[in-house]
């Protein structure tokens, strides 16, 4: 083949491949723009003030298409499908308790995007923010509103792109001291000090301002641990527990359990563990759950499942009875005030 014809082939290929690449990008851009317009039949969303200390509200990330997509919104807890009030604060993950909010959000930079954790007061005003090392996944506030925790996914350097780990941080709002990485706490596995480089910690749920539960993974297994911020310790209490969520009375843990025989894609079921008896109860939800569930009250669990808008919220009784019910479409990361 002559040099000329090879150059011609190359030029043609550059044009064709460039055209395909451009078309794909434009198509995706059009699809993204579509999400900024509300669709008929969507939940009604309007701008307004969201207060984290107003009782009887459900606060969550609104996923419905339109100008308020991804903003923190609220509805009366008694009317979850009612009109939504949207705050204008955009978050990927959110939680609130005791009048304090924690919002993990994306920061769009010039040459790359970053993430940060923003501590919010009851009017959703920023108190402080902290840069994050990776992609936000879990956030929690202690019942008293004086301690917050978050978990991010960190991927290794760019040449080993498939190597992921988690990093979980806990922040004391009275002193603004930040424990950047709970892996620095001493971890006792069945009472013995355990040191391993493959340790990962995620999914904090608070008992009070200093005590919490979380998941520790090491050696291919996951453990429910009880953490103590003063002693800087994590002590295992149960195995095969991920993303724990402590009941309001502090006696039960709702969690993701990896079950035998489930497909590798969808390995988890929603379980409840009684901390006194160590008895595990499967809930009536049979689908795989990848979320840190929230207790709406002492009896009902709320959790997210993929839906038409990215995510819907479902409820199921915590005692294993009943059946799962859709409570709110196009919503994620719920929390319930007072």
Partner 1 sequence: MYLADSRTAPGVPDTAGRSPSPGRRAAVPATVLTLGTVSLVTDISSEMVTAVLPLYLVAELGLSPLGFGLLDGIHNGVGALVRLAGGRFADRGPGGHKAVAAAGYGLSALCKPLLLFAHGVPLIGAVLAADRTGKGLRTAPRDAMISLACDPTTRGRAFGVHRAMDTAGALIGPLIAFLVLRAAAGGYDAVFTVSGCTAALGVLILLLFVPGRTASPGHHSAPEGRAPLRAVARRPEVRRLTACAVLLGLTTVSDSFLYLTLQRRLDLSETWFPLLPLGTAGAFLLLAVPLGAVADRFGRRRLFLCGHLALLGAYGVLAAPLGGSPALLCLALALHGSFYAATDGVLAAAAADAVPEAVRGSGLAVVQTGQAAARFACSIAFGAAWAAWGDRTALEAAAAGLTVSAAASALLLRPSGSPENARSPQDTQSPKSAKGPAL
Instruction: Output the smallest distance, CB 7 to partner 1, in A.
Output: 8
Instruction: Choose between 229 and 256: whose C-beta lies nearer to partner 1.
Output: 256
Site for partner 1 in 315-334 (CB under 8 A): none
Residue from 38, 51, 133, 207 that binds partner 1 (CB under 8 A)? 133
Site track 66-85 with partner 1 (rule: CB under 8 A), x = hit: --------------------
- Report the alpha-carbon distance of residue 288 to residue 268 in Å, rounded: 5
Q: How many residues does the chain have?
A: 338
Site track 160-199 with partner 1 (rule: CB under 8 A), x = hit: xxxxxxx-------------x--------------xxxx-
Instruction: Output the smallest distance, CB 113 to partner 1, in A.
Output: 7
Instruction: Output the smallest distance, CB 96 to partner 1, in A.
Output: 22
Site for partner 1 in 239-258 (CB under 8 A): none
Instruction: Choose between 157 and 260: whose C-beta lies nearer to partner 1.
Output: 157
Site for partner 1 in 89-108 (CB under 8 A): 92, 108
- Tokens 């402590």 belong to which residue? 246
Stretch that binds partner 1, among 79-87, 124-132, 204-212, 224-232 (CB under 8 A): 124-132
Residue from 38, 54, 135, 259 that binds partner 1 (CB under 8 A)? 135
Instruction: Choose between 77 and 92: whose C-beta lies nearer to partner 1.
Output: 92
Instruction: Choose between 196 and 326: whose C-beta lies nearer to partner 1.
Output: 196
Residue from 48, 134, 143, 322 that binds partner 1 (CB under 8 A)? 134
**How many CA atoms within 13 Å lie on the side-chain side of 149?**
30
308 binds partner 1 (CB under 8 A): no
Instruction: Choose between 55 and 110: whose C-beta lies nearer to partner 1.
Output: 110
User: Can you read off the two tokens belonging to residue 139?
Assistant: 């956030």
Residue from 159, 174, 260, 261 that binds partner 1 (CB under 8 A)? 159
Site for partner 1 in 282-301 (CB under 8 A): 290
Instruction: Output the smallest distance, CB 170 to partner 1, in A.
Output: 15
| Beta pairing, strands 135-141 & 325-328 | unpaired
Contact status, residue 318 vs residue 312, Cβ threshold 8 Å:
no
Which residues make up the interface to partner 1 (CB under 8 A)?
1, 3, 6, 9-10, 13-14, 17-18, 20-21, 24-29, 31-32, 35, 92, 108, 111-114, 130-135, 137, 153-166, 180, 195-198, 200, 217, 220, 264-265, 290, 306, 311
């Amino acid at each position: 083949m002559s040099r000329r014809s090879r150059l011609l082939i190359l030029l043609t290929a550059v044009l064709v491949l460039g055209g395909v690449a451009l078309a794909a990008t434009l198509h995706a851009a059009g699809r993204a723009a579509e999400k900024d317009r509300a669709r008929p039949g969507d939940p009604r969303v309007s701008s307004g003030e969201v207060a984290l200390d107003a009782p009887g509200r459900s606060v969550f990330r609104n996923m419905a298409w339109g100008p308020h997509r991804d903003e923190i919104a609220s509805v009366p807890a008694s009317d979850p499908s009612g009109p939504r009030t949207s705050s204008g604060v955009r978050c990927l993950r959110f939680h609130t308790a005791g009048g304090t909010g924690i919002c993990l959000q994306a920061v769009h930079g010039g040459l790359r995007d970053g993430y940060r954790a923003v501590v919010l007061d009851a009017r959703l005003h920023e108190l402080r923010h902290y840069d994050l090392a990776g992609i936000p996944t879990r956030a929690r506030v202690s019942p008293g509103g004086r301690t917050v925790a978050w978990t991010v996914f960190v991927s290794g350097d760019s040449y080993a792109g498939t190597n992921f780990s988690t990093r979980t941080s806990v922040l004391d709002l009275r002193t603004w001291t930040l424990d950047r990485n709970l892996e620095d706490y001493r971890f006792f596995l069945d009472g013995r000090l355990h040191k391993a480089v493959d340790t990962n910690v995620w999914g904090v749920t608070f008992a009070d301002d200093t005590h919490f539960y979380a998941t520790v993974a090491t050696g291919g297994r996951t453990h429910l641990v009880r953490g103590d911020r003063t002693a800087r310790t994590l002590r295992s209490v149960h195995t095969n527990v991920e993303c724990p969520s402590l009941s309001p009375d502090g006696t039960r843990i709702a969690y993701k359990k990896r079950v035998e025989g489930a497909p590798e894609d969808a390995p988890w079921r929603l379980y409840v563990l009684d901390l006194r008896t160590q008895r595990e109860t499967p809930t009536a939800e049979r689908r795989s759950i990848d979320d840190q569930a929230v207790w709406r009250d002492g009896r009902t669990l709320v959790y997210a499942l993929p839906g038409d808008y990215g995510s819907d919220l479902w409820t199921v009784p915590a005692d294993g009875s009943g059946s799962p019910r859709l409570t709110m479409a196009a919503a994620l990361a719920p929390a319930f005030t007072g």
